[in-house]
Copies of this chain bind each other. A is one copy, B any other.
């Protein structure tokens, strides 16, 4: 069986019709949910791209792999999805975005050449890259944000789009007269992107995925896992016709926020509400420009899923391909006076997750929803089980979803953890924090969502049962100290977890017990007669003679 692991970027959990959005219709993604299991409580391990993705790609918490924010290099040698799956006989490929930064210093220290097979895998987060394009070809006075080559820009140029960066000038900009109307300015979000729809990012990458599948099946004789990783609906918020005007202000849901949230707000929350992003998304005119474009990007994505799933079905591939559809984090879109992501409210840290398993063992759960607490680090153990590999709980910190997919009884986790490191945000400096102290931790269970902040800041607490919109921070008073204590106990247990004994499996550990005596290590032995004589043979001989 193959695995098609689809990730959208910044797709909110509730912007799908199967998840209840009243205006945005996503029939193709809904159809996948009808064939599989839709998880309603899937949490990513960090609300920011790079960190969340490195957790998904390593099966480990940010504190374990060290990539706690965008642009932190993944340390050389860290086990990735590709390493685990290849060991189990499944190839592992990338089509799209990872936001991975290679550990160039570490590679140099180990003498790894970036363009060798091993070097490429170390640079590409363990994937064999069919196409890698992170889709952030931003440009400022200090140059491009991303200095790698852009296959997408190369594609656009091959299609005749002029200039050095058609990603920025066409795919992510409209045109007003002779001037570009850049998607970087949200006032332009209602413009159609100045590009043929089929040349925009989502359809291009969908075609690349189909090209990949045809290529790999012609070339290789082993099962594959393909990470089809879209750039959208991530900003810049702009979409080509006809998607640019499918939705209007009448389709924009009211922001989930309340004035009281601004009173005595947690300092990190307050800092984010008051920065440029928070201020912008607190404006209704901004929301009414941006959200219809965001919905258009999702509608386009759903149409592309229709093409892709139809093609897979028509070519018989749906029978032996597991499909996973998820996102790396959500988007506040003005809820809680915030834009972007970067905190732990549901619109930011919860993601859509649909898993379609074609095997008959999954028939019992088709079309069902599952409310179990899922962490994005659960995907890799699931894939490893599909590939037939040995479980690796000494490295992988998540759990295989297979029992949930097959409707088997299972004692599941009762809380989930996420983390956020804001040391590179100016906010950390405004709060006077050392880099190591600009870190947040979330613990969520069936009822409560708790946030611990390092650096001596107070926690946050929401009662998801009585306050599902997370509007009342109960940690402003001492009234819920017992719940807070419970959450700190969970954080303690998690904090001292075994996360770095990655070079020895549990089975190897167990096999070693008591074995050193068979290699002559005798401890606490006063006389030879105390232990089995086979163990002491080397120590009960005659003194060797010269020449022996």
Contact = CB atoms under 8 A, between A and B. Distances in A.
Interface-central residue, A520, A534, A540, A547, by most chain B CB under 10 Å: A520
B182 A540 contact: yes
A421 B504 CA distance: 13
A148 interface: no
Nearest to A178: B542
A524 B160 contact: no
Given A436-B498, A548-B163, A277 B523 contact: yes
B539 A182 contact: yes
Interface residues of A, number: 133
Interface-central residue, A77, A83, A537, by most chain B CB under 10 Å: A77
Interface stretch (A20-28, A199-207, A250-258, A422-430): A422-430
A435 B506 contact: yes
A464 B194 CA distance: 74
A136 interface: yes
A280 B540 contact: no
A544 B162 contact: yes
A503 B66 contact: yes
Interface-central residue, A166, A506, A542, by most chain B CB under 10 Å: A542
Interface-central residue, A163, A184, A340, A494, by most chain B CB under 10 Å: A184
Interface string A483-505: 00000100110111111111110
Contact of A500 (B75, B109, B161): B75
Interface in A215-261: 235
A545 B164 CA distance: 11
B496 A441 contact: yes
Contacts of A522: 138, 184-185
A106 B106 CA distance: 14
Contacts of A488: 492
A496 B169 CA distance: 44
A502 B67 CA distance: 9
A141 interface: yes
A105 interface: yes
Interface stretch (A3-11, A110-118, A319-327): A110-118
Contacts of A536: 182, 184-185
A189 to B, nearest CB: 9
A314 interface: no
A278 interface: yes
Interface stretch (A295-303, A369-377, A398-406, A511-519): A511-519
Given A510-B435, A528-B185, A543-B179, A75 B502 contact: yes
A266 B163 CA distance: 73
Given A110-B110, A144-B519, A145-B519, A279 B524 contact: yes
The 5 A-B pairs of least Cβ separation, nearest first, read A495-B495, A138-B520, A163-B544, A277-B524, A66-B500
7 contacts: A63-B498, A106-B503, A138-B516, A138-B522, A424-B513, A436-B506, A494-B495
Given A139-B520, A169-B541, 19 more contacts: A66-B501, A75-B502, A76-B110, A139-B538, A139-B539, A144-B520, A145-B520, A162-B548, A163-B548, A168-B539, A179-B542, A180-B539, A180-B540, A283-B526, A393-B436, A423-B509, A426-B514, A436-B498, A491-B496
